[in-house]
Structure 1
Amino acid sequence: MTQSLVDYLVENEPAFRKARLPALYSDFQTQRTLNPDGYQANISAWRKALGHIVGSGLAPAGRAAAPNLFVLQSDEQLLRALESKQYGRPLALGAVVREALAAKDLIPLREFLDAKESIYRRPWSVWNLASWTMKQLGVADMLKKDSLPPGQFVVVSNVEEVGQAFSAQNGPIAATLTRFERTFSKAHFYQTFNDQLLDGKHLSPTDMDVLLLFLSRDKSAIAYDGTTIKILSPSDSSNPPEPTEITPEDTSIAQLKELLTSLTHQTALLTARIEQLTAQAKQALSKANRPAALAALRSKKLAESTLERRLATAGQLEDVAARIEQAADNIQLVQVMEASGAALESLHAQVGGVERVEEVVDRLREQMAAVDEVGSILAESAGTVVVDEEEIDDELAALEGEERRVVEERERVAREERERVEAEELRGRLEGVGKVPEGEPMEGPEVEAARAAAKAVKRDVKDAEDLMSRLSLKEGSDV
């Protein structure tokens, strides 16, 4: 494990290049005053490396059954895990941990869990000011030992990363979920979100305690009382602020949801058990093993009876859950209506009532009338001619009549021109036809056709003459 952990740092940490390993594994505490930049670079490299080692699950877990992803176990086992065959143990690791503790990048686990105020609140005091001064002068470092501080320390950067992932996943949809859907028991929350927060990694119970406290106390993303969790919904004008404390109703909802989840899991197991026993019974019959088949069928009947009871209980709980959701919706509706009523009352108070509105409108009308009166007086004093609207209307009508007569005259001239052209065309056609020859009467179809054509020509001639006469009359009248 020792070599694999060192190899992990070389492969995954840019600051842990092989050329940098001698400096990182040396006792670089003397560089604090001689080479401050180099000292801070080494400290920063180790602090990031420790956080990544813990987050990857490769850090020694001590007596814990599973590695913690948020808590660093600082002890002799950590030094052995980081030991290099070529460079030995990191001699300045104690200084790295102390610097991280001073910067609040690492926080003792017990202190983190017991803190009542946010870890981001750091009030200045006389002792803090004195400590800071001693640190700047290098006195504090001389009073401390070079050994690695033992204990369990929360890696704040790891917790912040997962907290941001939780907020990104659940923050946008929290406003669309009901109070029932956003409430969980601690066990149910652990079961629901454990595999969603880190890709392919599971949080230990200690990690979950740290995360829940961080989300509730330091980020105000959830409400948490140690047993019940409620994801807080962002408030807006249509959604009144939600209580940030856990209520007895929240605890009941969480217990109900946990029981429903348990029953759902049990019904799935019982269904699979029934299918298994059915297959066993068929297999026993195929082998002529009647007692085994009967035993499998008896177990199947018991499982079916248990499944039926579980399903009935789950149905009752689902009905209760639906009623709880309905009641919660009613409460929210009443709250919204109450807030809306208060808003309308406030706006109405700002308006001042009907009497004030009528008074404002009357004053406005008076002022508008005064403006008109002042305008009239100024117009008269300036010698402005008052325009007679009736005269304008008469003049407009005369212009429209003149325009209409011009259009009609233009249309008449165009129509007469078309008639003259048609008459000329008809006269040409008549001249081309000529007269029908006189002589002895003839018989036959040709004669009948000729007679019909002659009659048509005569009609055309008569129509042409009438048209020409009308044209002559019109021309004379125009003259």
Structure 2
Amino acid sequence: MSQSLLDYLVEHEPAFRKARLPALYSDFQTQRTLNPDGYQANVSAWRRALAQIARSGLAPAGRASAPNLFVLHSDEQLLHALESKQYGRPLALGAVLQEALTAKDLIPLREFLDAKDSIYHRPWSVWSLAAWTMKQLGVSDMLRRDNLPKGQFVVVANVEEAGKAFGELSLATERSSFERTFSKAHFYRTFNDQLVDGRQLSETDMEVLLKFLSRDKGAILYDGNTVKIKTPGAQEPAEITDQDASIAQLKELLASLTHQTALLGKRIDVLAAQAKQAVAKNNRVAALAALRSKKLAESTLERRFATVNQLEEVAARIEQAADNAQLVRVMEASGEALRSLHAQVGGAERVEEVVGRLREQMAAADEVGSILAESAGTVVVDEVEIDDELAALEDEEKRKAEEAERARREAEQANEAEQLRRRLEAAGEVPAGVIEGKKKEKEEMQAAEDMMSRMSLKEDS
């Protein structure tokens, strides 16, 4: 196991490349003062490695029946699991755990569960100030024991990662107040394999996570038996209520009965198959026994289904009542907000007074602007002259367009005459009358266009 655990770290932790393993397994505590950067780099690498092996479920579980993903069990088993035939045991692992405990990256399990204040709360006191001073002077390093701290320690980084995954999962699914309420056991069955890469959380892990989400993140309400997921921005009671506990018990019972109906359905199928097999073997006694058991199971299943249907109806009514209560709270809060805003406005009379003053000030501003404009010698613009100038510009633009169109037509006619001449030349002699006729037709079209242009100009003028 020891070599496989080291191989896992070499594969998954970038800092545990083979070139660094001799330094990481050495007693690098002497570097604390001689090479502080190298010392901190080794400590950081080991702290990430310990979190990784705990999260992967490969760390020794001690006396626990299942591995903990959020709790690291530190004792001789951990040293033995990390031991390597080539590099031996990690000689500075005790110093690494001491550093992690000081930085609150590792917290003793019992201290974590019993703490009333958030783990992120760092109160300054005489003792903490003295400890900080001793650390800065190096006295605490000289007094520090190098032995491996023994016990169970919460890996804060792993709990934070699971808390982030839970937050994303909660935001991705819209739930009513009824759906956000669970018993502890129901919450465990629902989320134990959805937060850490599909791995199963132990009961200890779940207790740590519930304490973290309720005390340190404020994402849930939790009283030891009932869990309620909070909705950001919603106005809800700050504690688990009797209604929440009742809803949690109802959901737990409904889940249990639903599971029982599934088991009874499978048992009925098995008993039916046994009865068929007994009949096929002419074993009448076994067939009758299987059919009696099947009949009893069917009767039990029918009663279970009736109970489940009744509980589902009760759950639906409770959910509707909870939604109505939430709606009433929102409407009440909205009414208070409107009342406060109306009080700030001061009623219709005050609004009329404000609007009247605003109109007076706007009129005064207009009067001041007019006086300033007169004093600056405002120039009066003759709109008739502007219209005449615009008409002249438009006539000029129209003449340019007509000339361009006439030039285009002349070019097209010349091109057509040239093409006709070439085709006649290719066919034989070009009749003179054809060319003269084309020229005469061109001159007549030109005269007609000039006459239309002059008539258009006269109409515009």
Give distance in 2, aligned partners of 1:212 and 1:319: 30
Partner of 2:213: 215
Shift of the 371–96 alpha-carbon distance from structure 1 to 2, 3 Å rule, reads closer
RMSD of aligned alpha carbons = 2.6
CA-to-partner distance for each residue in 1:405-438, whole Å, 9 max, x for gaps?
xxxxxxxxxxxxxxxxxxxxxxxxxxxxxxxxxx
Distance in 2, matches of 1:15 and 1:371, equals: 73
For the residue of structure 1 that corresponds to 2:200, the secondary structure is coil
1:30 aligns with 2:30: yes
Do 1:13 and 1:49's aligned partners in 2 also have CA atoms closer than 8 Å?
yes
Q: Give the SS at the match of 1:184.
A: strand
Cα distance in 1 for partners of 2:360, 2:68 equals: 80
- Alignment partners' CA distance in 2, 1:370 and 1:261: 75
| Distance in 2 of aligned mates of 1:34 and 1:120 | 32
Tell me the equivalent position of 1:77. Answer: 77
Q: Deviations over 1:267-295 (max 9, x none)?
A: 11111111111111112112211111111
Say if 2:194 is the partner of 1:200: no
Instruction: Evaluate the alpha carbon distance shift between residue 285 and residue 131 of structure 1 in structure 2; reply closer, same or farther with a 3 A threshold.
Output: same
Cα distance in structure 1, aligned partners of 2:98 and 2:345: 64
Q: How many residues align?
A: 383
CA distance in 2, matches of 1:188, 1:221: 17
| Structure 1 residue 365 displacement after superposition | 6.0
The residue type equivalent to 1:224 in the other structure is Y
CA contact (8 A) 2:235 2:329 kept: no
Aligned mate of 2:342, from 335, 342, 348: 348
Alignment gaps of 5+ in structure 1: 385-394, 396-479
Rounded to whole Å, the distance in 1 between the matches of 2:225 and 2:256 is 17
Equivalent position to 1:230, from 223, 228, 246:
228
The one-letter code sitting in structure 1 at the alignment partner of 2:313 is D
The letter of the residue matching 2:33 is T
Residue 362 to residue 92, structure 1, CA distance change in 2 (3 Å): closer
The equivalent position to 2:284 in structure 1, one of 283, 290, 295, is: 290
Cα deviations by residue, 1:73-110 (Å, 9 ceiling, x for unpaired): 11111111111112211111100000000011100111
Does 2:151 match 1:157? no
Query: What is the distance in 1 between the residues matched to 2:293 and 2:188?
Result: 34
* Deviation, structure 1 residue 379: 11
Post-superposition Cα deviations, 1:431-457, rounded to whole Å, max 9, x if no partner, equal xxxxxxxxxxxxxxxxxxxxxxxxxxx
- Three-state SS of the structure 2 residue aligned to 1:196 is coil
Which position in structure 1 is the counterpart of 2:102?
102
Identity %: 79
Aligned to 1:270: 264
Match of 2:312 in 1: 318
The 1:290–1:121 alpha-carbon spacing in structure 2 relative to 1, beyond 3 Å, is: same
Gaps of 5+ in 2: 379-383, 385-461
1:248 to 227, 242, 245: 242
- Asked if 2 retains the 8 angstrom alpha-carbon contact of 1:108 and 1:152, the reply is yes
Shift of 1:352: 1.5
Deviation of the 1:383 alpha carbon: 12
Quote the residue 2:139 is aligned against.
139
Provide TM-score, normalisation by structure 1: 0.75
Counterpart in the other structure of 1:5: 5
Q: Distance in 1 between matches of 2:338 and 2:38?
A: 65
- Partners of 1:53 and 1:364 in 2: how far apart? 71
Larger radius of gyration: 1
Question: What is the aligned partner in structure 2 of residue 87 from structure 1?
Answer: 87
Which residues in structure 2 correspond to 1:410-425 (within 5 Å)? none
Amino acid of the structure 1 residue aligned with 2:156: V
Bigger Cα displacement from structure 2, 344-353 vs 118-127: 344-353
**8 Å contact kept, 2:261–2:301:** yes
Q: CA deviation at 1:361?
A: 4.7
Distance in 2, Cα, partners of 1:308 & 1:72: 48
1:367 & 1:134 partners in 2: Cα distance? 70
Matching residue's letter, 1:241: Q
